[in-house]
Structure 1
Amino acid sequence: MTKSVFTDTAMLLLIPLTMVGISASIHTHNADISTTQSAQANKIGKNIDIEYTADSNAGKGAIRPLYFQASKVFSIKYRTVNFKTVLDEDYREEKLYRYVPGSKKKNRTYSWKKIKAQTGKRVYVDKKAKAYYRDDDGERESEDFYRIRVSASHKATKYWVNEDAIDD
């Protein structure tokens, strides 16, 4: 039994050695066969895409370039709205922002304690922003944000929140 184990072990060691020998002989006989190259790191640079936009003045369309990087916002469209709503039960999973995320390099975030938030708290919405970005797979995605305030006064401090923080 020990003789068969010894034989099996010897055979298992010979298999990789013969593979290395065959591989070395192939590379020495054929100079045109390429050898392995070291891997190169992928660099994500700016990609250029185009978007078709309608020109309402002339009744013609125009093509404009869109510059973006992976997972970066490349366009934000704002719209004025005016409605009241309440904070959703999952509002804590989102953040309060000073600006729409992706619109400024340094965007300040605030704690929900600052506005004494709780589920069902009434908020006033006066702006909507749709942020367009490209995810890691290169797919175009969009995210909606709303500008809220906790007071009916238009002079109250305003914050941007993800659409998931409020009831629509």
Structure 2
Amino acid sequence: MKKVDLANAGLLMLIPLTMIGFSASIHAHNSDISTTKAAEVNKIGETIDTEYSGNTELNQGKMRPLYFQASRVFSVKYRTVNFKTVLDEDYKEEKLYRYVPGAKKNNRTYSWKKIKAHTGKKVYVDKKAKAYYRDDDGERESEDFYRIRVSAKKTANRYWINEDAIDD
């Protein structure tokens, strides 16, 4: 009986020693573990947080900014229209878009040179979109966009523009 008790006591002593050794090995390899700093408080217009990366070869334990753009558009409603109009004299202050701004994550913009734009240039409008968003004060706002093409052909390239770029 004494040999069994002695063996049990030996095993019971190994359990705490194993736990201490395991804990020490975790702390020794802590440099491999990447930790993240809590996100800083952001206003709606500011979209930069920071992340802390542990001591890796690439980051060397430095703070680096995380850039992302949060879309303030929460709804877009489309409707079909069909009319001709011309570019307004202030069209250069606006942009040509592939999609309604805020409707897609990666929206491409184009130069006005692409369509050989000038004040009074005839454009064909086939869609209207109303984008609903929240402004910096949190109030609901909306913006109208029109899908235009510069040719009468239905298969011509189409672009989205702000309502301020055309005479309506």
- Which interval holds the TM-score relative to the shorter structure? 0.5 to 0.7
RMSD (Å), alpha carbons: 2.0
Question: What residue in structure 2 maps to residue 42 of structure 1?
Answer: 41
Deviations 1:107-151 (A, max 9, x none): 000000000000000000000000000011010000000000000
Structure 2 gap segments, 5+ residues each: 1-39, 45-68
Q: Is 1:147–2:147 an aligned residue pair?
A: yes
- The residue type equivalent to 1:77 in the other structure is K
- The residue type equivalent to 2:106 in the other structure is K
Q: How does 1:1-168 map to 2 (within 5 A)?
A: 42-43=41-42, 72-168=72-168
When normalised by structure 1's length, the TM-score is 0.60
Decide which structure has greater strand share.
1
- What is the deviation of 1:159? 0.1
When normalised by structure 2's length, the TM-score is 0.60
- The residue type equivalent to 1:119 in the other structure is T
- The residue type equivalent to 1:42 in the other structure is V
Any runs of at least 4 consecutive aligned residues in structure 1 with deviations exceeding 3 A, and if so which? Answer: 41-45
Instruction: Tell me, in whole angstroms, the C-alpha distance in 1 between the residues paired with 2:113 and 2:88.
Output: 15
Structure 1 gap segments, 5+ residues each: 1-40, 46-68
Give the conservation status (yes or no) of the 8 Å contact 1:124–1:151: yes
Identity of aligned residues (%): 83
Question: What residue in structure 1 maps to residue 12 of structure 2?
Answer: none
